[in-house]
Structure 1
Amino acid sequence: MSIPRKGSRSLTVNDTTYRWVVSVHNNTVNLVVELDSAPGQRLLAYFECRDLYIRTETGEWRFHSQKQSIRPAHVKRLILHALNSGWKPQEKLGKPFTIRNAAQIAATIDVEAIHSRQVSPDAQEAYIKEIARDFLESSMCLSLCMDFEMYDRLLESEPQTRFPIADDNLQQLGLTFAVFLDSTKADGRPVIALQCNEFPDVIEHYWWIC
């Protein structure tokens, strides 16, 4: 089934016209591209959503809007990249050509570096959830809970017993974190979890080598 003309857009690249449409599903922005006439294999590209949050009068963060923007110039970059990487838009292939790191290739706003230390504690708007995720994925966060004292406390604790991770800069932004021993073990090794208290779905798991 071809992309419906209603709600989609056309784009000409190197004298070939394509049709493209964007949708959002499960915190992912999905881009679908195919030939405008006699379409064959589709191009499917994935972008992460960029959620902008604003501060309420009580200092809490509230979702404001989704800021991931996909423009014709971004789509053109993806089309050219896909063609150079083996996409065959004229051929009737059942499996789409998939790009998962689309933001980096298309050079959208999503590739801007997110450094929590560059956000003012007084900021009234921020990509605060991304800041939390960036911190949990950093070695800085893991180092805060890897000292011998915390190691012993975690291994001796009941699963899901939470211990705070202190970071002064992020606390000023209204973000707090915890580390705990997960109830699951991988290959007999304990698994620890690092989690943002304000955004529970922002969580990282690590196998702890004893």
Structure 2
Amino acid sequence: MAIPKKGSRLITVDDIAYRWRVRHKPTYCQGNSWGPLTFAVELVDPPGRVLLVSLPCSRPDAWLGERTMAVRPALVAAAIRAAHERGWDPQHAGNAFEPSLTDDDLTNLMNGRPPAYEVPFMR
């Protein structure tokens, strides 16, 4: 299953071009902070097996004031490298590869720096 091109961003990791995307609107569960913040990654050409990364926090646009973080290209690149180490092969077709990252995983991916979580202001 390919991710939509509209709203996706390109990133090059280790001389390979990928396309990544955060869903435009939250699902009902994500809006209520019941589901995690996720982003999808795939090869630019030809698209193959999708990487669907789940983070241990809520989306920034969640309706409730839970801890959140921004998905930045450095995090996406680190997640791609970690997925390759865990066995993700983006050139072969198949179900999405779905690693769930923990706080410790994020700290390791970001070179020992703890993740920068934000708690939105409640109105």
Letter in 1 for 2:58: C
Structure 2 unaligned regions, length at least 5: none
Q: Is the contact between residue 18 and residue 35 of structure 1 (CA under 8 Å) also seen in structure 2? A: yes
**Distance (Å, rounded) in 1 between the aligned partners of 2:7 and 2:102:** 21
Matched, 1:49 2:58: yes
Structure 1 unaligned regions, length at least 5: 52-62, 113-125, 129-210
Letter in 2 for 1:44: L
Match runs of 1:72-111 below 5 Å: 72-93=73-94, 95-101=95-101, 104-105=105-106, 106-107=109-110, 108-110=115-117
Letter in 1 for 2:71: I
Partner of 1:8: 8
Letter in 1 for 2:52: L
Q: Is the contact between residue 42 and residue 97 of structure 1 (CA under 8 Å) also seen in structure 2? A: yes
Q: Is the contact between residue 66 and residue 120 of structure 2 (CA under 8 Å) also seen in structure 1? A: no
RMSD over aligned Cα atoms: 3.1
Shift of 1:38: 0.8
**Distance (Å, rounded) in 2 between the aligned partners of 1:101 and 1:127:** 22
Q: Is the contact between residue 50 and residue 127 of structure 1 (CA under 8 Å) also seen in structure 2? A: no
Q: Is the contact between residue 46 and residue 99 of structure 1 (CA under 8 Å) also seen in structure 2? A: yes
Shift of 1:67: 4.0
The farther-off stretch of 39-48 and 20-29 is 20-29
Give the TM-score, by structure 2 length.
Answer: 0.69
Q: Is the contact between residue 48 and residue 92 of structure 2 (CA under 8 Å) also seen in structure 1? A: yes
Identity %: 33
Q: Looking at CA atoms only, which structure, 1 or 2, has the larger radius of gyration?
A: 1
**Distance (Å, rounded) in 2 between the aligned partners of 1:50 and 1:5:** 21
SS of the counterpart of 1:87? coil
Greater strand percent: which structure?
A: 1
Give the TM-score, by structure 1 length.
Answer: 0.43
